[in-house]
Amino acid sequence: MKQRTEKYVVTFRTTAGAMAMEAACSAAGLPGRLIPVPRSVTAGCGLCWAAPPESREVLEELVIKKRLDVDGIYAIIL
């Protein structure tokens, strides 16, 4: 298994919300990628955006600016 590190994780209420996040991050050149939502965040399914913890501030600015449909924001070890 891969080495676990701290990640900044953003969850969404819809798949469209996750895709909007990916598109916005890609356009802005921000780091991260979509992964299946880990059980430590929420049971169920869906996609979340996982990024290095140091990107938290710029990502939160992007979420507000683009009115992205975010469900929750977490700092977890993945």
Partner 1 sequence: MIYLDNAATTRTKPPAVAQAVLEALSSYGNCGRGGHQGALSAARAIYETREKIAALLGCPRADHVCFTQNSTQALNIAVCGLLGPVDHVISTDLEHNSVLRPLYRLRDAGAAVDFVPADSRGRLDYCGFERLLRPETKAIVCTHASNLTGDAVDIARVGRFAREHGLLFILDASQTAGVLPIDLAAMGIDVVCFTGHKSLMGPQGTGGLCLREGLEIRPFTVGGTGVQSYSEAQPGEYPTRLEAGTLNGHGLAGLSAALDFLSETGIARIHAHEDALARRFYKAVRDLPGVTVYGDFSAPVRAPVVTLNIGDLDSAEISDELAERFGIATRPGAHCAPRLHRALGTEEQGAVRFSWSYFNTEEETAAAAEAVRVLAREALEG
**Residues contributing to the site for partner 1 (CB under 8 A):** 12-20, 22-23, 34-36, 43-47, 69
Tell me the residue ranges of DSSP E strands in the chain: 6-12, 33-36, 47-51, 70-77
In the complex, minimum distance from the CB of residue 55 to partner 1, in angstroms, rounded to a whole number:
19
In the complex, minimum distance from the CB of residue 27 to partner 1, in angstroms, rounded to a whole number:
11
CA–CA distance, 76 with 65 (Å, rounded to integer): 24
CA–CA distance, 7 with 77 (Å, rounded to integer): 6
Which of 26, 53 has the CB closer to partner 1? Answer: 26
Which of 27, 57 has the CB closer to partner 1? Answer: 27
